[in-house]
């Protein structure tokens, strides 16, 4: 039996790879999009080991409220179990690769509970990734809440 976190990563990778050629995305662009979705899966599944691999040491998230969250803060939220995600899925992604840097944009659909209260929101995101030792890691993520 394949562990859930690996199945999630494989599913996300296959989805992106299947969509990539239809969208005209290069292999490198597909890999960058897969890394972005793998990070979403890691947050949803509370997979700390995957987050340690996927988030660069200097990772920051600029939230919908303009707060800047460090990698340590993002990982601590996962440890604390709040928020809890039922859905954390990217779609409508595009990617551009510039050497060992990639910019991925798209929409993330989120659903879950935070502070005991349910939430569901779509955000438009821009992620910046760098390739280190052949592996994409997220350096910066910026999200903007989309109108309902």
Among candidate residues 132, 39, 125, 118, the one with its CA nearest the CA of residue 83 = 118
Q: State the pTM of this model.
A: 0.82
| Contact between 109 and 87 (Cβ < 8 Å) | yes
User: What pLDDT does 141 receive?
Assistant: 98
| Cα atoms in the 13 Å half-sphere on the side-chain side of 106 | 22
The token pair at 41 is 């899966």
> CA neighbours within 13 Å on the CB side: how many for 122?
9
- Give the pLDDT score at 4: 47
- The predicted structure's pLDDT at residue 23: 56
Q: How is the beta sheet containing 117-132 ordered, strand by strand?
A: 68-70, 55-62, 135-145, 117-132, 101-114, 84-98
Looking at residue 121, what is its pLDDT? 96
> What is the pLDDT, as a whole number, of residue 24?
82
The residue among 87, 40, 82, 44 whose CA lies nearest residue 61 is 40
Rg (CA), the chain: 14
Show Cβ contacts of residue 114 under 8 Å, excluding neighbours closer than 6 positions. Answer: 82, 83, 84
- Reported as type and span, the H/E element at residue 132 is strand 117-132
pLDDT in tens, the chain (148 residues): 444 444 444 444 444 444 444 358 899 999 999 999 999 999 999 999 999 999 999 999 999 999 999 999 999 999 999 999 999 999 999 999 999 999 999 999 999 999 999 999 999 999 999 999 999 999 999 999 999 8
pLDDT of 8: 47
């Amino acid at each position: 039996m394949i562990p859930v976190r690996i199945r999630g990563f494989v599913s996300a990778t296959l989805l992106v790879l299947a969509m990539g050629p239809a969208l005209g995305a290069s292999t490198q662009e597909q890999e960058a999009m897969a890394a972005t979705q793998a990070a979403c899966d890691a947050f949803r599944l509370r997979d700390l080991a995957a987050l340690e691999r996927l988030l660069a040491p200097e990772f920051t998230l600029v939230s919908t409220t303009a707060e800047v969250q460090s990698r340590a803060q993002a990982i601590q939220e996962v440890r604390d179990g709040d928020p809890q995600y039922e859905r954390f899925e990217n779609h409508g992604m595009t990617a551009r690769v510039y050497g060992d840097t990639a910019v991925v944009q798209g929409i993330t659909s989120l659903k879950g509970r935070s502070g005991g209260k349910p939430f569901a929101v779509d955000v438009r995101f821009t992620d910046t990734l760098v390739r280190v030792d052949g592996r994409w890691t997220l350096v910066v993520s910026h999200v903007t809440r989309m109108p309902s």
